[in-house]
Amino acid sequence: MGSTMIAVIGFVSLAILMWVLLKGMTSPVIPFILIPVVTALIAGFSISDINGFVKSGLNSVLSTAAMFMFSITYFNIMNDAGLFEPVIRALTPKGKANVFLILLSALAVTYVGHLDGSGATTWMIVLTAFLPLADRVGIRRPALLCVAASGMTAANLVPWGGPTMRAAAVLEMDVNALFAYILPALAVMVGLSVLTVWMLARAEVKNGAGTMIAENTCTAGDHVEPGRGGFKDWKWIFNMALTVAVLYFLFSGVMSSYLCFMMGVSVALLVNYPNPKEQTKRLKSYAGQSMVMTITLFAVAVFLGVMKEGGFIEAMASVIVRIIPGFLAPHAHWVLALIAVPMMMALGTDAFYYVMLPVIIGVVEPFGISALSVAAVYLITGTFGSSINPSGAAMYVGLGLADVDVGTHIKFSIRYLWPFSIACMAAAILMGIVQF
């Protein structure tokens, strides 16, 4: 079967998947498994081929799934033990809350948490710290997810981050030099993130947030135990030290992410709940939340394996470039960047930079457009779609913690992220970073 037909089948399958997810017609597990398998069969692949595709996809998310199961258990224990109570009390003096300050604090933590370049780590740190607070003051969970997604736009582009390293590899240039070139645009991204926080804060206040303390409905732990969560509680001091240690090993890379949380869970259970029956009871109470999202991660892996290994993503990227009218060829880099967010959502990070970027460079270079300019425009626009990419495994760590479905997150956040990606591109053109 020709590459064009493969691409058409891929686009139709992706459209069906997005429609099902956005409409919330079924659990995400079902379309992520059934649609790619049917797609591969229609494209002429054998069951043996599909088995290989799925195996490859599963291998790519095994470490993320293990980390998710243990990290969510760890932070559930910490939440029940009252670790975050002092933060909540500090940001809600006398039962009142400054919604803008809370969301701005979440944005700041996003930037710090994303220093290691790991989206999964960032979701865990931000959501476990701010979900209990957001629930108590009536901030909707999709708004908190949107703040984190917005903060990760600029943080994604640090020199050691995946997008910048991928683009530098394509250009065969030093990653630090590429980062220095796009640095002024990152300042714009930070400003847009703060603007996002301001807009969300206004919307949440209009929705009733901050006017009264809402009942704590956070699923990350059923309740804080009486007498826990104070600086005079020795277990609180121990839990804080343990959490700092876990995060240190996580960021330093000395220990694998999943082993960090495996060790953390073991120690946390032993100290906070020394009774074996209580330990089992706690693990059972957290099992439902972690199991649902772990199953979802494995389902996403089926989709990723089939679409990548089956050649659908590469064929789709080639077709996107070929449909550009001839008169727009000199401007193909910024014309396609207008839809960089949905392209990132459709193709994923690897195909976006390793497949799309080289092809577009080849299209516009004869017209005097530098490869550096093309890489810059796709870095500063595509990154806005990374945190709402339905095939991005890390995002499901955040969705699982927040107990928000993927369709709700995408519909809520894309209203801010896509327009701001275009605004950032316009600013980059005005600053001379991107050639027009």
What is the tens place of the pLDDT at every residue in 241-294? 998 898 888 777 788 878 888 999 999 999 999 898 988 888 888 777 677 778
- Answer yes or no: is pLDDT of 86 > 80: no
Q: Domain range spanning residue 249?
A: 61-155+191-211+226-292
Based on the number of CB atoms within 10 Å of its own CB, is 334 exposed (0-12), middle (13-18) or buried (19 or more)?
buried
- The pLDDT assigned to 211 comes to 64
Residues 6+ apart with CB under 8 A from 407: 21, 22, 23, 24
Q: Which of 27-31, 348-352, 407-411, 421-425 has the lowest mean pLDDT?
A: 348-352
The amino acid occupying position 391 is: S
Helix (H, G, I), strand (E, B) or coil at 257: helix
Looking at the chain, the whole-number percentage of residues with pLDDT higher than 70 is 91
- The pLDDT assigned to 355 comes to 77
CA atoms within 13 A on the CB side of 341: 23
- Answer yes or no: is pLDDT of 221 > 50: no
Please indicate whether residue 24 or residue 7 has the higher confidence score (pLDDT). 7
Q: Is residue 278 part of a domain?
A: yes
Which three-class secondary structure string do you get for 206-245? HCCCCCCCCCCCCCCCCCCCCCCCCCCCHHHHHHHHHHHH
Q: Is residue 78 part of a domain?
A: yes
- Answer yes or no: is pLDDT of 88 > 70: no
DSSP 356: I
d(CA 56, CA 41): 17
Q: Is residue 410 part of a domain?
A: no
Q: Is residue 349 part of a domain?
A: no
Digit-coded pLDDT (tens) for 304-337: 889 888 988 888 888 887 787 878 888 888 888 9
Q: Which of 47-51, 85-89, 413-417, 422-426 has the lowest mean pLDDT?
A: 85-89
Residues 6+ apart with CB under 8 A from 196: 146, 147, 150, 416, 420
Separation in Å, CA 187 to CA 155, 334, 379 = 11, 20, 14
d(CA 87, CA 371): 47
Separation in Å, CA 220 to CA 12, 76, 288, 396, 403 = 37, 5, 11, 15, 9
Question: Phi/psi of residue 27, each to 5°?
Answer: -65, 140
Q: What is the CA radius of gyration of the chain?
A: 22
- The pLDDT assigned to 159 comes to 82
Q: Is residue 325 part of a domain?
A: no
- The pLDDT assigned to 217 comes to 44
Query: Residue 290 CB: number of other CB atoms within 10 A?
Result: 20
Please indicate whether residue 425 or residue 161 has the higher confidence score (pLDDT). 425
- The pLDDT assigned to 377 comes to 93
User: Mean of the pLDDT values across residues 145-161?
Assistant: 88
Q: Is residue 432 part of a domain?
A: no
Q: Is residue 144 part of a domain?
A: yes
- The pLDDT assigned to 227 comes to 47
- The pLDDT assigned to 359 comes to 83
- The pLDDT assigned to 222 comes to 43
Place of tokens 């930037």: 111
Task: Let me know: does 383 contact 157? Beta carbons within 8 Å.
Answer: yes
- The pLDDT assigned to 218 comes to 43
- The pLDDT assigned to 215 comes to 47
Task: Let me know: does 420 contact 200? Beta carbons within 8 Å.
Answer: no
- The pLDDT assigned to 146 comes to 95
User: Mean of the pLDDT values across residues 217-238?
Assistant: 58
Digit-coded pLDDT (tens) for 166-186: 888 888 888 888 889 999 999
- The pLDDT assigned to 48 comes to 93
Q: How many domains does the chain have?
A: 1
| Chain mean pLDDT for the chain | 84
- The pLDDT assigned to 231 comes to 56
Please indicate whether residue 142 or residue 76 has the higher confidence score (pLDDT). 142
d(CA 100, CA 205): 9
The amino acid occupying position 317 is: A
- Answer yes or no: is pLDDT of 216 > 70: no
Q: Is residue 392 part of a domain?
A: no
Digit-coded pLDDT (tens) for 16-51: 988 888 887 888 889 989 999 999 999 999 999 999
Name the band, by pLDDT with cuts 50, 70 and 90, for residue 230.
low
The amino acid occupying position 327 is: F
